[in-house]
Chains A and B, each alone.
Chain A
Amino acid sequence: MHKAKIIVITLLGLIAGLGHAQDTATSPQDKVLNKLFLQYKAQPCAFSDTVLTCEFDRPDHYGDYIAVAKATKQSLMVKTELDRTDKQVGQTGAAGNSSSTVSTGSVPWLIGVALEHGAVTQSVENNLITFRGNIANVIKAAKLKDYIQSYRAGEDNMFVRNISKASFSISYNTAQGASADNLQTGSLAGYSFHFDVYNHRDPRDSRYDKAWDNLLTDLTKVANATGRFSVIVRRNHATETSAWQTRADNTLKALAADATDQQIRDALQSVANDFVDTFGKFDDVNQTALQVVATLEDYGKQKGQVVYRIMHSPIVSVEYVGTKQSSTQLPQSSSTLTVAGSLPDLSTINVILETYLLKDSQFTLNASTTLFNSTPAGSKTGNVRDYRFAGQADIPLPEIPPLGKPTLSLSGLFLSLLEEPLGQQVLVNGVAQSRTGNIGLFQAKVSFPVKNAGIAIPISITASNRTELIKENDVRGSVGVTFNLDHIFAKQ
């Protein structure tokens, strides 16, 4: 129990410390520069012998930069992209051998890998490695180009649309040592299929056409303000414009073909700062630059509302989980647990509802039942092993600049065990004991992402009145690692 208190205090300390981290977030100028950098990387300048092809020696790119550079205090950029907390990488919560309390509605686009130790409702010693992915996207990643094209146009293709909603997972047990039933290291621990029955968190969904189209009014205001800004710069300050362009071209020309990201960023910053130094003294330029920023801010807010609506639409999913109980490793700490016979495998059917509560806090509800694949000897309720209800709230925490945005998850679970959890009588030191009854569980988890690496490190503490195999209060802490390969493929 003392250990549990230390873990709780450490978690609370970490959470409290996060608030200070946000103070050192990227400046507005850096944010504008980041956008310019991404734009440059996508379409770099090309200085051939015959024609100049360069966008970044044109004033229209620097309207917001000069405005934020001249501003004394404000953070003018509006966050339009909502950080998602709804992707599950590890073993689904409906599987008894998972370290998560609930299953979430969304899964990684391509493949996720999670390493987990133990389980929330079982006192087992498993080390699980889970691969989770999307069937359609794994096929795409196999370089079937025609399929990629059909996916992109897939909104009109029912087959592609539906298969894209299906995902799978496979878990392997990497534990060493004794087992419940001839455990072999590296054996299959379980598998699952997940299908989104209702999921409209896609900006391409036709139900958002009207909302996107309405946004064009605000984007036109950005174009108008930027056009005016450019005309003011070019026509009212033609000499300065020409000189600045020459310097900008020379700076960008000096970039080698294999220039590093930092060199590109430095060059763009030099061009942008030169723009501020050259034109920042002109009131007409500054006034129109402020209009550019104002229209960008309005557009960002409007776009943010559309994105918010999309990302906050509910998701309903169904999930089938197969669990190989023969790979379950029983605890052997204070007493020797054994079972009377071979263990039947399990099938779990889980219905998942995912929605938002307040602001960006996401709420997930699971209702599931687990069935024995073969009827246990002496069963009174047939194949039904348990009923399970679980809820989880995911709360995004302030950003830690070198890491990213951690997420705090609070979850609870009620599990009614109608049958012996393993499908066989559990023997404690050779004496048969009943393990049916109800289990209540609470879990607090903070997941720390490693920025741009697709890696998350979840730290959790779990408390329950008992576990499936041991009828004693149980408090435990755990640390895991999850890998979301989407990030790696996105970079490529």
Chain B
Amino acid sequence: MQRQFGAHTRCRPDSRPAFVKSIVQSEDKVRDLGTNDFQADPGETITVKVSVDKKPFLCAFQNPPDGSVWKNILHTPGSVTASRQFTMPGGANGEVDFNMQFDTQIAAGDDDKKATYTLEFSGSAGGNATRMVIVPENAGPVSREYTFTN
């Protein structure tokens, strides 16, 4: 299967009836297109929330994201959560990409030799999607790339 990079091509052909698609689209503005590709409305504000199940919190965002800028960045030292927002471009065929890096440092006394990061993407027009990133001991930093298209 030849594919171009980007959101639409990572999905198998959508065989759902047209009325189902329209209902889904009207309910979920941020739509999950598989792997780390999402669809959002032009001008929509996307909130990205990250949390990890154990300290230390070692999660970094590409700054700035390709095609937009971060705003409302929230994270305090020692916290296991962070959140920030970006706005989709206004025109058609807009795309925002950003890389994220996840790492961990497992304590010698910790039997769970991995850290699990949970990401939640939510759009101002509605809809959300979640992703898990598992960082095994000695395997970090783990790279992830997220793509939002109109």
A residues apposed to B, CB below 8 Å:
34-35, 38-39, 41-43, 49-55, 58, 60-61, 63, 81, 84, 106, 109-110, 134, 137, 140-141, 148, 152, 155, 164, 201-204, 206, 208-210, 212-213, 215-216, 219-220, 222-224, 226-227, 230-231, 234, 238, 241-243, 245-246, 249, 296, 299, 303, 306-307, 310, 489-490
Contact = CB atoms under 8 A, between A and B. Distances in A.
Nearest to B5: A234
A223 B61 contact: yes
15 contacts: A51-B33, A58-B145, A63-B143, A84-B108, A109-B110, A203-B106, A222-B141, A223-B61, A223-B99, A223-B100, A227-B99, A231-B66, A238-B5, A242-B5, A246-B2
B143 A60 contact: yes
A203 B115 CA distance: 13
Given A58-B145, A246-B3, A203 B107 contact: yes
B145 A39 contact: no
Nearest to A110: B111
A223 B12 contact: no
B147 to A, nearest CB: 10
Contacts of B98: 223, 227
Contact of A216 (B34, B58, B97, B108): B58
A51 B4 CA distance: 15
Nearest to B116: A42
A304 B20 CA distance: 52
Contacts of A249: 1
A109 B105 contact: no
B108 A226 contact: no
B10 interface: yes
Given A38-B136, A49-B12, A203-B106, A245 B145 contact: no
B53 A490 contact: no
Given A42-B114, A52-B10, A212-B57, A303 B78 contact: no
Nearest to B11: A51
Given A38-B138, A212-B57, A246-B2, 12 more contacts: A52-B12, A54-B35, A110-B111, A204-B110, A209-B77, A209-B78, A216-B58, A219-B58, A219-B60, A219-B141, A224-B62, A226-B62
B67 to A, nearest CB: 10
A84 B107 CA distance: 12
B34 to A, nearest CB: 4
A60 B98 CA distance: 11
B63 A42 contact: no
Given A54-B35, A137-B111, A303 B103 contact: yes
Contacts of A223: 60-63, 98-101
B58 A215 contact: yes
Interface string B119-148: 000000000000011111011111111000
Contacts of B11: 50-52
Contacts of B77: 209-210, 212-213
Interface string B1-40: 1111100001110000000000000000000011110000
B109 interface: yes
B99 A299 contact: no
A204 B132 CA distance: 21
Given A230-B99, A490-B111, A208 B139 contact: no
Contacts of A210: 77-78
A212 B5 contact: no
> For B12, B97, B108, which residue has the most chain A Cβ atoms within 10 angstroms?
B108
A270 to B, nearest CB: 18
Nearest to A224: B62
B113 interface: yes
Contacts of B100: 223
B56 interface: yes
Contacts of B71: none
Interface in B57-110: 57-63, 66, 77-78, 97-101, 103, 105-110
B54 interface: yes
Contacts of B110: 109, 204
A60 to B, nearest CB: 5
B115 to A, nearest CB: 10
B63 to A, nearest CB: 6
A226 B99 contact: yes
A87 B138 CA distance: 20
B144 A152 contact: no
A110 B110 CA distance: 10
B101 A137 contact: no
The 9 A-B pairs of least Cβ separation, nearest first, read A209-B78, A38-B139, A227-B99, A51-B34, A219-B60, A212-B56, A213-B77, A227-B62, A203-B105
Nearest to A230: B145
Nearest to A241: B5
Given A209-B77, A227-B98, A234-B5, A219 B103 contact: yes
B4 A238 contact: yes
A141 B112 CA distance: 12
A213 B77 CA distance: 6
Contacts of A227: 62, 66, 97-99, 145
Given A39-B142, A227-B98, A227-B99, A152 B34 contact: no
B3 A242 contact: yes
Contacts of A209: 55-56, 77-78
Nearest to A219: B60
Contacts of A208: 56
A103 B62 CA distance: 47
A489 B34 CA distance: 34
A134 B107 CA distance: 15
B109 A202 contact: yes
A423 B33 CA distance: 78
Contacts of A106: 108
Nearest to B32: A51
A489 B110 CA distance: 11
B103 to A, nearest CB: 7
